[in-house]
Structure 1
């Protein structure tokens, strides 16, 4: 039986998280929630959770600060950060704390499911029916295992995953890494065989497909959620990538 701790200062979010996945199906027999950092740390020390999901902002505190304190105490917990913010500084702090992933609110059920399954298989050495370990550790666009990619490329991929809904560009990434944009683009192309813009579009398309297939959201809303304020532009890219329209995919 696995143990889960969910930390958020909004009670409705906590209740929603408990219903987002069929946690019992994944072997979680104990689920605790907390609305403050201090209470979360206290419960974590008592519970020793296998997995803990922290909101990045809990009141005036930061979830990654609590994770750092728990790491210092030697807890074997695997952490997930969730956030309504897409600022890369938060993702950077999360990386330093060793979190398994950084998910944007509103949480995409499929993305949370993928992260949880990956933790169960890779870190908790459990099994999931129909899930292959290599699939969980493989980039969905590149089809390449993350541990076969350089640290720099993995950082770029994480940045795309956390900010794909925003107007993210190679120039912005280069500025944050304090690197020359042309040089960074060449490095990314050499390792991935894709331009930054091509990868970003492909990742957005995959995220859009997930939402189209798993929700009843309007296509315009989904397009905006994956970084396309121009619906016509979204339709053109979607049809070009999947050779079918969003409406055809939903039928």
Structure 2
């Protein structure tokens, strides 16, 4: 069973974070909360949590300063920072102390879910295949159960799902696995019958489709939110994938 610690100086935030996910379903058998960095430092050493979620500002202290001190004494915990501030300096400090992600408040449940799944698979050597809900058991692009795929391919898919907004490539994934990119690409193709780049594009297209149909966001904003900095490139991929333009899909063209 995994152990979780949540650190925030607002009791209602702590309660909300305890309820935001079905932690038990993810294998977290123990959850501890702290309202100060001093209490957190003491509890971390005793609890040795697998995951700790720190607010960026806890009273007059900074969450990343506590994380930095814990890193110095080599506590093997995976840290997440949450913050009501989008200032780059906070995110920069969080990145410097090796946090797994920087989430803005109010914390998005789906985003947190993705980060936790990624930590479970990549850092804790676990799986998320036994989640009860269908959307967690079945890959939206491949249409097959995650149980039918190898652990390696599941890890690649999870990377795509958590980093699709970034410039993720087969080469960058291969480097993280310390594998040859050509060989990794062949393994992925053999198992999924799709090239890595084809899967990435399809995943981004499905997300874009969902946002186009369920929101009034500008198409340019949606394109950027799914990892396309070039709008023309997005339109070309979209039309090639769906056979229609984004505005046609929304019913305004």
TM above 0.5, one fold?
Answer: yes
- Inter-partner Cα distance in structure 1 for 2:101 and 2:112: 9
Summarize the Cα distance change of 1:85–1:128 in structure 2 as closer, same or farther, 3 Å threshold: same
Q: CA deviation at 1:133?
A: 1.0
In the alignment, is the contact (CA less than 8 A) between 1:68 and 1:97 conserved in 2? yes
| CA distance in 2: counterparts of 1:241 and 1:56, whole angstroms | 38
Q: Is residue 246 of structure 2 the alignment partner of residue 244 of structure 1?
A: no
1:147 equivalent in structure 2: 172
1:32 matched to 2:32? The reply is: yes
Please say which structure displays the higher CA radius of gyration: 2
CA pair 243-145 structure 1, distance change in 2 beyond 3 A: farther
Alignment of 1:194-213 (within 5 A): 209=211, 212=214
Task: Answer whether contact 2:84 2:104 (CA < 8 A) is retained.
Answer: yes
Report the counterpart of residue 96 of structure 2 in structure 1.
Answer: 96
In structure 1, what is the equivalent of residue 150 of structure 2?
none
TM-superposed CA distance for 1:144, in Å, is 2.7
Is residue 121–residue 127 contact of structure 2 (8 Å, CA) maintained in 1?
A: yes
Aligned length: 180
Q: 2:159 aligns with which of 129, 137, 144?
A: 137
Cα distance 1:108–1:243, how it changes in 2: closer, same or farther (>3 A)?
Answer: farther
Displacement after TM superposition at 1:145 (Å): 5.3
The verdict on how the C-alpha distance between 1:92 and 1:21 changes in structure 2, with shifts beyond 3 A counting, is same
Task: Decide whether the 8 Å contact of 1:137 with 1:145 is kept in 2.
Answer: no
Trace 1:192-231 onto structure 2 (pairs within 5 A): 209=211, 212=214, 219=215
Gapped regions of structure 2 (runs ≥ 5): 130-136, 138-145, 147-153, 176-196, 198-203, 223-234, 239-243
Unaligned segments of structure 1, at least 5 residues = 151-191, 193-201, 213-218, 228-236, 247-251
Shift in alpha-carbon separation, 1:9–1:240, aligned structure 2, 3 A: farther
TM-score (norm 1): 0.62
**What corresponds to 2:63 in structure 1?**
63
Q: How many angstroms apart in 1 are the aligned matches of 2:91 and 2:174? A: 19
Equivalent position of 1:177 in the other structure: none
Structure 1 residues 148 and 127 mapped into 2: Cα distance closer, same or farther (>3 Å)? closer
Deviation at residue 135 of structure 1 after TM alignment: 1.5
Pairwise CA RMSD: 3.6
Kindly state the Cα deviation for residue 242 of structure 1 after the two structures are TM-superposed. Answer: 7.6
Q: Supply the distance in 2 between the matched residues of 1:24 and 1:143 (Cα, whole angstroms).
A: 31
Q: 2:123 is matched with which residue?
A: 123
Q: Deviations over 1:164-190 (max 9, x none)?
A: xxxxxxxxxxxxxxxxxxxxxxxxxxx
User: For the residues of structure 1 that align with 2:13 and 2:93, how far apart are their CA atoms?
Assistant: 23
Find runs of 4+ consecutive structure 1 residues off by over 4 angstroms: 237-243
Change in CA separation of 1:73 and 1:143 when aligned onto 2, cut-off 3 Å: closer
CA deviation vs aligned residue, 1:188-224 (integer Å, no higher than 9, x gap): xxxx9xxxxxxxxx89x75x839x5xxxxxx57x88x
Pair 19,145 (structure 1): closer, same or farther in 2 beyond 3 Å: farther
